[in-house]
Amino acid sequence: MASAHIYRDRADAGQTLAQYLLAQESDANPLVLALPRGGVPVAFEVARALRAELDIFLVRKLGLPGHEELAIGAIASGGVRVLNQELIQELQLSEALIDRLTATEQRELERRERLYRENRPPVIVRDRTVILIDDGLATGASMMAAIRALRPQSPKRIVVAVPVGAAETCQQFRAEADNVICSATPEPFGAVGAWYHDFSQTSDNEVRKLLEVAARERAS
């Protein structure tokens, strides 16, 4: 693992991450899947450097009410739900609360799916190397949901790639993915945003624009 980097912004992080992927991944036709919204500017730079196809994979974190940064689980396209049972028991959260959170996030997931895709079907992942990208890994709940939703679609390989992550979380993913690239694992980790100078929220419009540019560049 590399020593800690502090990135200027998500584009800078994506350019750095791309160098790690170019060194470690040799598939000539990988599919880069971004976890919106924050993962999209990172993945855009990776897809451009790898000359790869870019698409999104919708995942929504289930955040603890009042402490939304704390993930008690996540949902992904295809009806997959991953829960942190240990944390749920520790906080004594009711099943009804978790179901309410799930329903709320499912509506938002479907809204984003319609908005970002604009009637384009999801890319087929079967027999392809899929590179799953987010702007960082803290608990890893969203990334875990993405992997578990993708596995039944029979990709050739699943690669998890992030510019920064908690060392323990990155290590845990080695049992779930075929390769894990965390280009920085600073300790103590804290929050993903601490390792970016600019960690301002990525907008829906920015996501759409980057997907459009990526498709246009690939077609030209």
The structural domains of the chain, with segments of one domain joined by +, span 10-59+122-219
CATH number listed for the domain at residues 10-59+122-219: 3.40.50.2020
Sequence-ordered list of residues with C-beta below 8 angstroms from that of 214, at least 6 positions apart, any chain = 44, 47, 48, 54
pLDDT grade, residue 141 (50/70/90)?
A: confident
Predicted confidence at residue 78, as pLDDT, reads 78
Of 13, 4, 139, 7, the residue nearest 64 (C-alpha): 139
Note the pLDDT tens digit of each residue in 167-203: 999 999 999 999 999 999 999 998 899 999 999 999 9
pLDDT grade for 119, boundaries at 50, 70 and 90: confident
Mean pLDDT of 129-154: 93
Listed in sequence order, the residues at least 6 apart from 83 whose beta carbon sits closer than 8 Å to its beta carbon are 62, 72, 73, 98
Gap between the Cα atoms of 198 and 217, Å rounded = 26
| pLDDT, position 190 | 86
Name the region of 43 (left: φ>0; alpha: ψ -120 to 50; beta: rest): alpha
Spatial separation of the C-alpha atoms in residues 149 and 162, rounded to whole Å: 19
User: Is residue 153's pLDDT more than 70?
Assistant: yes
What pLDDT, on the 0 to 100 scale, is given for residue 2? 42
Question: Which of 50-54, 114-118, 140-144 has the largest mean confidence?
Answer: 50-54
Is the full-model pTM beyond 0.85? yes
